Amino acid sequence: MGVCVFLGAKYCRWTHKCGGVCIFIQSNICYTATDMDRYANEEDIEICAIKLHISLHTVIIVTVYRSPAGDIEYFLNNLEEALNHIYNNTVDIILCGNFNINYLNDSQDKQALNSL
């Protein structure tokens, strides 16, 4: 029999159709959802996170989406606030998602994201 997978965390859009982010997790993994709603804003930064409890180690997985039409400054500021909120020296953070920043070209947006 296979392991069940279910929705661990989500951010759903209220105004714009077809969007949001989510994290699915296997039912045999111990985790807690981390509330990131205060940092989210449709199209600018859509974000959710879970905290995995693996033995004596803690890993936080954060998934993020920024629409190409989103405000890059708002995105960077709120992403930094969100990461500062969850960061401490006893956890590892895995950040994934679609930032809609072209990494093939050097740009101020790319440099600002890298500096986070």
Q: pLDDT (tens digit, 9 = 90+) per residue, 53-63?
A: 888 889 999 99
- Predicted structure pTM score: 0.90
Mean pLDDT, range 2-16, rounded to an integer: 89
* Domain segments of the chain as ranges: 5-115
Spatial separation of the C-alpha atoms in residues 21 and 105, rounded to whole Å: 26
- The number of angstroms, rounded, from the C-alpha of 110 to the middle of its chain's C-alpha atoms is 17
pLDDT digits (tens, 9 = 90+) for 66-93: 999 999 999 999 999 999 999 998 899 9
* Helix segments in the chain, DSSP class H: 72-86, 108-115
Residue 14: pLDDT band (50, 70, 90) is confident
CATH of domain 5-115: 3.60.10.10
Asked whether the predicted pLDDT for residue 1 surpasses 70, the reply is no
Q: 37 by DSSP, 3-state: which?
A: helix
In the chain, % of residues over pLDDT 70: 98
Separation of alpha carbons 14 and 18, rounded Å: 10
**How far apart are the C-alpha atoms of 64 and 17, rounded to whole Å?**
17
Residue 34, phi-psi category: left (phi > 0), alpha (psi -120 to 50), beta (remainder): beta
Cα–Cα distance, 67 to 40 (Å, whole number):
12
